[in-house]
Structure 1
Amino acid sequence: MRQKMTAQQTSSPQTSIREDILRFLLKRGTATASAIASHLQITPQAVRRHLKTLESSELIEHQVSQASIGRPNHLYQLSRQGREHFPDQYDQFALSLLNTVADTLGPEQVSQLLKHQWQRKAKEYKECLGDAPLKDRMQTLVKLRQAEGYMAECHRAEEADAADSALDSALDSAFVITEYNCAIAHIAESYPTVCGHELTMFAIALPDCSVERTHWLVGGEHQCGYLVKTKEKQAPEAKP
């Protein structure tokens, strides 16, 4: 049975360390006790005590990976309950509402409802982002996503093929948005088309960019990722 943390536990230094472990696993996907200890700069023995508590609370789980030499490694990762531990703005009420619409009006109406919702959200995003340089728009977009419950980050994409003289320019035209949790996870699992609408939303909000999904939580990966690149301007056709 999952253990609930008391108010006293949630404010203790020990619980703070466990929160750090959960956030590290959210970003990393899987990790050994040694890797977690190195990141938090505490002893592996201390980490294992916290991992035992988290596992008994059903917030994490582990798999055994056989190493080529020595003892097998325990790889820890968040459980489903562990992912639900993080902020979720939409939770079960929105999913229940969509299920009611599907039962009452049919699945096609749900599809149209979701489409209109994402179109409206895309318009809101576009107005917030404005026509600032792409780097600034990416920072604003990440803040918008964070405000909606996503643990989002953004960094410049590495362009290995860019010429040295044009490297800075190339990097400022390509960014990767990473979201380590999904604020609409329950909805996405039941109605995976919302992920396609979300991708379209980013494309509408950033009309001068191409947006490509690189990672997908619903597809079994531990994060969602999007590659945003400035569209290449086509040279005008030569007049005859």
Structure 2
Amino acid sequence: MNTSLQSSSKEAILQYLLKENQASAQNIAEAMNISTQATRRHLKDLLEQGLIEYDLIRVKTGRPQYLYSLSRQGRDRFPQNYGEFAVSFLDTLTETVGENEVSRVLQKQWEKKADNYRKFMTGKSLQEKVTRLVEMRKEEGYMAELFIIEENPPQFFISEHNCAISDVAESYPQVCSHELEMFSSLFPECLVERTNWIHQGEHRCGYLIKIC
């Protein structure tokens, strides 16, 4: 199966789980009209990406049954009008506790996000880490692409054609600074530079990652 078909099948599985809440691999295979074997491969990939989770149901006879459902991260893939609420909340927070405290809150948020990324990057080579980061950013709606600029020494360029938090970034551009700090913390052996910035009117955000 080619990559585009695999992606569409995985997206269809996520949409099915959103509607059904929980389902077995067999139920999903029947609904998607694909083989159970192919379904299990897709489910394995979605589990590794943190988009789904499962409950193990033990029965009196036969094998235990796995029931799959969307994880919180999986549900966050689907459109939610959080931007306006987030900006309004930050405005209220700024009025209540001041800009310095809000900046500390945003910093803490990016530190938590970096910790979540690290869970899926630990133990991998630099190129594998960058590739996994781009995959996760794609899942979050950033339309990320990876370009290998140099192989020895390694040098990578990440291009993001969409800002998934554009509403917040427009009102609170400091979140972009925290984002750059987050990327730097994920690759301590590298220099991470922002080369392009949507907030400054460019058509993408760009990050250059190279060995120090």
Specify the TM-score bucket, using the shorter chain as the normaliser.
0.5 to 0.7
What does residue 10 of structure 1 align with? none
Q: Based on CA coordinates, which of the two structures has the bigger radius of gyration? A: 1
User: Contact 1:89–1:183 (CA<8 Å) still a contact in 2?
Assistant: no
What does residue 184 of structure 1 align with? 165
- Percentage identity across aligned positions? 46
Q: Kindly report the root-mean-square deviation, in angstroms, between the aligned alpha carbons of the 2 structures.
A: 1.9
Letter of the structure 1 residue corresponding to residue 102 of structure 2: V
| 1:43-94 CA-partner distances (Å, limit 9, x unpaired) | xxxxxxxxxxxxxxxxxxxxxxxxxxxxxxxxxxxxxxxxxxxx67742121
What does residue 196 of structure 2 align with? 215
What does residue 112 of structure 1 align with? 104
- The answer to which of 214-223 and 95-104 deviates more is 95-104
How far did residue 221 of structure 1 move? Answer: 0.7
User: Contact 1:88–1:149 (CA<8 Å) still a contact in 2?
Assistant: no
How far did residue 100 of structure 1 move? Answer: 1.4
Give the ranges of 4+ consecutive aligned residues of structure 1 lying more than 2 Å apart after TM superposition.
Answer: 87-90
What does residue 76 of structure 2 align with? none
| 1:80-118 CA-partner distances (Å, limit 9, x unpaired) | xxxxxxx67742121111111112222222111101101
Matches for 1:86-101 after TM superposition, within 5 Å: 90-101=82-93
**For 1:89 and 1:174, how far apart are their aligned partners in 2?**
36
Letter of the structure 1 residue corresponding to residue 108 of structure 2: H
How far did residue 224 of structure 1 move? Answer: 0.1
TM, length-normalised to structure 2: 0.59
The alpha-carbon distance between structure 1 residues 169 and 90, as it changes in their structure 2 partners (threshold 3 A), is farther
Letter of the structure 1 residue corresponding to residue 129 of structure 2: R
How far did residue 135 of structure 1 move? Answer: 1.5
Aligned length: 135
How far did residue 131 of structure 1 move? Answer: 3.1
Larger relative contact order (C-alpha < 8 A, sep ≥ 6)?
1
SS in 1 for 2:123: coil
Does 2:181 correspond to 1:200?
yes
How far did residue 120 of structure 1 move? Answer: 1.2
SS in 1 for 2:102: helix
SS in 2 for 1:175: strand
Gaps of at least 5 residues in structure 2 are: 1-78
**For 1:90 and 1:136, how far apart are their aligned partners in 2?**
31
TM, length-normalised to structure 1: 0.53
SS in 1 for 2:134: helix
